[in-house]
Amino acid sequence: MIPTYEDLQHRFASAGLSARGGFHPQSAGSLPDIGGRPVQTMIMLGFTGTQNWPAFASSAEFRDGRANPLDRWSMRVIDALAVELEGRAFYPSDGPPWWPFQRWARRALALHASPLGVLIDRRFGLWHSYRGALALPVEIDLPAPLSWPNPCTSCEAKPCLNTCPVGAVQPAAFAVDACRSYVRTTATCSAGCVARRSCPVGAEHAYTATQAQFYMRAFAGTDAVHIQVENPNQPDVIALLEASDAYMAQLYPAESNHLLDVRSLSRPEVTFLVARIDGRALGCGAVVRSEHGWAELKRMFVAPAARGNNVGRRLLQQLEAAAAEHGMTALRLETGTQQPEALALYRSAGFTEIGPFGDYRADPLSLFMEKRLPGRQ
């Protein structure tokens, strides 16, 4: 039995995808056969607004820490659909040669080009994306695209052309390199493209902060975080530590700050890690091993430009591993009451509150925490 387009819409929705229209190839020979049968219908699949995001965000790919999680999720889900429907999957990442996804998208739906280079949709505006296409060897009746005028042509204000902080959006071109460099080094766009958010079309479907941050990290390549043991006595690392000092001085009086200097961080009982993105030192942390079988977490700091990229969590995980490798039974820390983000990170990682330890004394601005290290008692 040949499914209807509505049947397919429901099936794709149950898998976490939106059907984005389709078309009948004018020349079957332009696409590979499906088991010797020509392609008769091409269905576009993607994300629209925020409605598909939860399916991906709850997936194993989203949580496993490996590269290209969204591409891997898309391929797993759409490949399974292709097997079920006896079709063939195509992806924007296939190639070279690359499949003409933008051309396919405009055949499937009445979309218009925007100055941002993103196709603009009548309902969702700029808040949609394509995860793949599914070719089928049967002809399915498809809804005709609803034509509508290009809103960018009649938009007099054109906010997308004058809100980009680096001027990357221009009428004739989009300066990809300038945009990517800016996103990598500042926090202004960490919650999403400012120019994109300025467009009034489909604004009610704008991505959530978490979703936008994920896409911006993928665009900027900031998922390529390199963490390794380094000497703290380096100019860029010293600058990072000084930024940490300044931040802490804004929050607490000097007597409530317990910061190790570069000389102390260079001692043999200290493991000092630096997180780099594109070679820039944007995060650091240390563990100081004690003679009593526990280690202390010190100098945890992530520069504002790298926040929202899980740098702090990844640093913490590697510091825990470093302490365990040296035979430590627990990891302890002192942190301040005025840092809710840090407290949330530590609690979510399994740290629980304890009393003052070592040379610390009770302080209303301090909290003391401990985590038993896995596999050690």
Is 131 in the same domain as 161? no
pTM over 0.85: no
Q: Is the pLDDT of residue 277 over 60?
A: yes
Is 101 in the same domain as 212? no
Where would I find the H helices in the chain? 5-14, 53-57, 60-63, 69-84, 101-108, 151-154, 176-185, 194-197, 209-220, 235-251, 262-265, 311-325, 340-348
Is 76 in the same domain as 189? no
> What is the reported pLDDT for 377?
37
Q: Is the pLDDT of residue 210 over 90?
A: no
Mean pLDDT for the chain?
Answer: 90
Per the structure, the complete domain to which residue 204 belongs is given by 153-220
Give mean pLDDT, residues 303-328: 86
Q: How many domains does the chain have?
A: 3
> What is the reported pLDDT for 376?
38
* Burial of 226 from C-beta contacts in 10 A (0-12 / 13-18 / 19+): exposed
Is 19 in the same domain as 137? yes
Backbone φ and ψ for 250, nearest 5 degrees, come out as -75, -25
Helices first, then strands: H and E counts in the chain:
13, 11
Query: Does 377 reside within a domain?
Result: no
Is 316 in the same domain as 345? yes
Query: Does 92 reside within a domain?
Result: yes
Least-confidence region, from 97-101, 140-144, 366-370: 97-101
Choose one of 100, 122, 151: the last residue of a domain: 151
Give mean pLDDT, residues 337-347: 92
Is 162 in the same domain as 264? no
Q: Is the pLDDT of residue 375 over 60?
A: no
Query: Does 41 reside within a domain?
Result: yes
Choose one of 151, 178, 212: the last residue of a domain: 151
Give yes or no for a contact between 265 and 234, defined as CB atoms under 8 angstroms apart: no
Tokens of 242: 């000084």
Choose one of 220, 241, 261: the last residue of a domain: 220
Is 273 in the same domain as 339? yes
Q: Is the pLDDT of residue 339 over 50?
A: yes
pLDDT per residue over 141-183, tens digit each? Answer: 999 999 999 999 999 988 998 899 988 888 777 888 888 878 7
- Of the two residues 92 and 219, the one the predictor is more confident about is 92
Separation of alpha carbons 105 and 18, rounded Å: 13
> What is the reported pLDDT for 55?
96
Angle at 30 between CA 28 and CA 33, to 5 degrees: 60
Separation of alpha carbons 128 and 70, rounded Å: 14
